[in-house]
Chains A and B, each alone.
Chain A
Amino acid sequence: GENVEQHPSTLSVQEGDSAVIKCTYSDSASNYFPWYKQELGKGPQLIIDIRSNVGEKKDQRIAVTLNKTAKHFSLHITETQPEDSAVYFCAASTGTDSWGKLQFGAGTQVVVTP
């Protein structure tokens, strides 16, 4: 089955700096890669996703890149703000072939200090 590894486990950045979180996956059939933000005591919130037919996607301060050959994808947050502090999870899925089941990474605790 799919295995997703996520690094780093914790990330401290100064407000205004950039944050990068990296994930690798094992199943070459995976074709959907979402990123979720989870605040304490809440459910995960989808912040951006990318499908295997594109290499990069951007939404304001957030971007995701995908390298299918190397089987890794990354989340980039620019101009970080204190409200970006949360746990971020990457995930991978083979789509409808498995009812869209997601395999999650272990999570990255991001702390943005003013």
Chain B
Amino acid sequence: GAVVSQHPSWVICKSGTSVKIECRSLDFQATTMFWYRQFPKQSLMLMATSNEGSKATYEQGVEKDKFLINHASLTLSTLTVTSAHPEDSSFYICSGDRVDEQFFGPGTRLTVL
């Protein structure tokens, strides 16, 4: 159990466009979901904490107007990167919280040209 999926697994977009990434908990309900960003050979950096039905809480330095997070249901959270630029290219990973344990999705590789 405790499977999290992400879609798409990879995406290439042009600078200035917006990209939406979906995160789904497939076999459990996640009241809380987390979004991370990971650059090559680095650790996971928490971007925001998303609670179902309420506004996301962003970590210091993360622009909330650029990284829009919606947690509409107990099994779905979305991250939209608005007006993407090459520096936003990264590996984006979500996780779902189940009884204080976090289970991670497979990640989405975003490349902005």
Contact = CB atoms under 8 A, between A and B. Distances in A.
Interface of A: 32, 34, 36, 41-46, 49, 89, 93, 95-96, 99-102, 104-107
B44 A104 contact: yes
Interface string B1-36: 000101000000000000000000000000010100
Nearest to A44: B104
Given A46-B101, A95-B100, A100-B100, 19 more contacts: A34-B101, A43-B93, A43-B104, A43-B105, A43-B107, A44-B93, A44-B104, A46-B102, A49-B101, A89-B43, A89-B44, A96-B100, A99-B32, A99-B51, A101-B49, A102-B34, A102-B102, A106-B42, A107-B43
Contacts of A42: 106-107
Interface residues of B, number: 22
B6, B93, B102, B109: residue with the most chain A Cβ atoms closer than 10 Å? B102
A79 to B, nearest CB: 26
Interface of B: 4, 6, 32, 34, 42-44, 46, 49, 51, 57, 93, 97, 100-107, 109
B107 A41 contact: yes
B74 to A, nearest CB: 15
